[in-house]
Amino acid sequence: MTNQELIAKAKEVMTRAYAPYSHFQVGAALLAKDGRVFTGCNVENATYGATICAERTAVTKAVSEGVREFEKIAIVASSGEYAAPCGICRQVLFEFIPEGKVVLWSELEGEKEFALTELLPFGFRGEDIK
Protein backbone atom coordinates (compact mmCIF):
# COMPACT_ATOMS: atom_id res chain seq x y z
CA MET A 1 0.00 0.00 0.00
CA THR A 2 1.33 3.43 -0.90
CA ASN A 3 1.71 6.27 1.57
CA GLN A 4 -0.96 8.21 -0.33
CA GLU A 5 -3.47 5.35 0.03
CA LEU A 6 -2.74 5.13 3.75
CA ILE A 7 -3.08 8.92 4.12
CA ALA A 8 -6.47 8.77 2.35
CA LYS A 9 -7.71 6.21 4.90
CA ALA A 10 -6.45 8.38 7.76
CA LYS A 11 -8.23 11.43 6.30
CA GLU A 12 -11.47 9.49 6.04
CA VAL A 13 -11.43 8.29 9.64
CA MET A 14 -10.34 11.72 10.90
CA THR A 15 -13.84 12.98 10.10
CA ARG A 16 -15.23 10.63 12.77
CA ALA A 17 -13.09 12.06 15.58
CA TYR A 18 -14.82 13.16 18.76
CA ALA A 19 -13.09 16.45 19.55
CA PRO A 20 -15.66 18.82 21.11
CA TYR A 21 -13.05 20.46 23.37
CA SER A 22 -9.98 21.03 21.22
CA HIS A 23 -11.74 20.89 17.82
CA PHE A 24 -8.52 19.21 16.66
CA GLN A 25 -9.46 16.06 14.77
CA VAL A 26 -6.81 13.44 14.10
CA GLY A 27 -6.96 10.31 11.98
CA ALA A 28 -4.51 7.43 11.79
CA ALA A 29 -4.17 4.44 9.49
CA LEU A 30 -1.93 1.58 10.62
CA LEU A 31 -0.62 -0.85 8.01
CA ALA A 32 -0.15 -4.40 9.27
CA LYS A 33 2.51 -6.65 7.76
CA ASP A 34 -0.28 -8.87 6.41
CA GLY A 35 -1.65 -5.92 4.39
CA ARG A 36 -4.66 -5.10 6.57
CA VAL A 37 -5.22 -1.51 7.61
CA PHE A 38 -6.54 -0.51 11.03
CA THR A 39 -7.81 3.03 11.43
CA GLY A 40 -8.37 5.20 14.45
CA CYS A 41 -9.46 8.70 15.38
CA ASN A 42 -9.02 10.71 18.54
CA VAL A 43 -11.76 10.45 21.17
CA GLU A 44 -11.63 13.32 23.65
CA ASN A 45 -12.90 13.46 27.18
CA ALA A 46 -13.65 16.46 29.38
CA THR A 47 -10.79 15.39 31.67
CA TYR A 48 -8.32 15.44 28.73
CA GLY A 49 -6.23 12.78 30.52
CA ALA A 50 -8.82 10.22 29.47
CA THR A 51 -8.56 11.27 25.83
CA ILE A 52 -7.54 8.50 23.46
CA CYS A 53 -5.31 9.49 20.56
CA ALA A 54 -5.95 8.30 17.00
CA GLU A 55 -2.71 6.30 16.92
CA ARG A 56 -3.54 4.36 20.08
CA THR A 57 -7.08 3.74 18.82
CA ALA A 58 -5.67 2.15 15.66
CA VAL A 59 -3.15 0.04 17.60
CA THR A 60 -5.81 -1.09 20.07
CA LYS A 61 -8.20 -2.10 17.28
CA ALA A 62 -5.47 -4.11 15.57
CA VAL A 63 -4.28 -5.85 18.73
CA SER A 64 -7.87 -6.69 19.69
CA GLU A 65 -8.15 -8.44 16.31
CA GLY A 66 -5.00 -10.47 16.99
CA VAL A 67 -2.61 -8.44 14.83
CA ARG A 68 0.71 -7.38 16.32
CA GLU A 69 3.09 -6.84 13.42
CA PHE A 70 3.03 -3.56 11.53
CA GLU A 71 4.97 -1.67 8.88
CA LYS A 72 3.90 1.94 9.16
CA ILE A 73 1.27 4.40 10.31
CA ALA A 74 -0.07 7.51 8.58
CA ILE A 75 -1.34 10.42 10.68
CA VAL A 76 -3.37 13.44 9.55
CA ALA A 77 -4.96 16.34 11.42
CA SER A 78 -7.85 18.69 10.72
CA SER A 79 -5.51 21.67 11.03
CA GLY A 80 -3.93 20.66 7.72
CA GLU A 81 -0.51 20.82 9.39
CA TYR A 82 1.80 18.00 10.40
CA ALA A 83 0.67 16.33 13.62
CA ALA A 84 3.41 14.12 15.04
CA PRO A 85 2.41 11.52 17.63
CA CYS A 86 2.50 12.55 21.28
CA GLY A 87 5.05 10.96 23.60
CA ILE A 88 2.69 8.28 24.87
CA CYS A 89 1.74 7.30 21.31
CA ARG A 90 5.38 7.16 20.27
CA GLN A 91 6.10 4.72 23.08
CA VAL A 92 3.00 2.61 22.29
CA LEU A 93 3.99 2.49 18.62
CA PHE A 94 7.53 1.50 19.62
CA GLU A 95 6.09 -1.53 21.43
CA PHE A 96 4.75 -2.87 18.13
CA ILE A 97 6.76 -1.28 15.29
CA PRO A 98 10.19 -0.30 16.59
CA GLU A 99 11.56 -0.58 13.04
CA GLY A 100 8.47 1.02 11.50
CA LYS A 101 7.75 4.24 9.68
CA VAL A 102 5.55 7.20 10.58
CA VAL A 103 4.01 9.12 7.69
CA LEU A 104 2.76 12.63 8.43
CA TRP A 105 0.71 14.74 6.04
CA SER A 106 0.33 18.50 5.60
CA GLU A 107 -1.98 20.26 3.14
CA LEU A 108 0.74 22.74 2.24
CA GLU A 109 3.84 20.54 2.32
CA GLY A 110 2.57 17.06 1.49
CA GLU A 111 3.90 13.98 3.21
CA LYS A 112 6.96 13.39 5.34
CA GLU A 113 8.13 9.96 6.41
CA PHE A 114 10.18 9.25 9.51
CA ALA A 115 11.61 6.14 11.08
CA LEU A 116 9.92 5.77 14.45
CA THR A 117 13.38 5.75 16.03
CA GLU A 118 13.87 9.30 14.72
CA LEU A 119 10.82 10.41 16.70
CA LEU A 120 11.64 8.28 19.75
CA PRO A 121 15.38 7.59 19.80
CA PHE A 122 15.43 5.90 23.22
CA GLY A 123 12.19 3.95 23.14
CA PHE A 124 12.09 0.64 24.94
CA ARG A 125 10.11 -2.59 24.86
CA GLY A 126 9.21 -4.99 27.61
CA GLU A 127 11.99 -7.33 26.56
CA ASP A 128 14.44 -4.48 27.23
CA ILE A 129 13.45 -4.34 30.91
CA LYS A 130 15.54 -6.78 32.90
Report the catalytic residues: 55
SS3 14: helix
Q: Is residue 3 part of an annotated ligand binding site?
A: no
Q: Is residue 18 part of an annotated ligand binding site?
A: no
Q: Is residue 60 part of an annotated ligand binding site?
A: no
Q: Is residue 44 part of an annotated ligand binding site?
A: yes
DSSP string, 53-102: -HHHHHHHHHHHTT---EEEEEEEETTSS--PPPHHHHHHHHHH-TT-EE
Q: Is residue 13 part of an annotated ligand binding site?
A: no
Q: In what order do the strands lie in the sheet with 70-77?
A: 37-41, 26-32, 70-77, 101-106, 110-115
Q: Is residue 86 part of an annotated ligand binding site?
A: yes
User: Residue ranges for the binding site for substrate?
Assistant: 42-48
The annotation places the binding site for Zn(2+) at 53, 86, 89
Binding-site residues sit at 42-48, 53, 86, 89
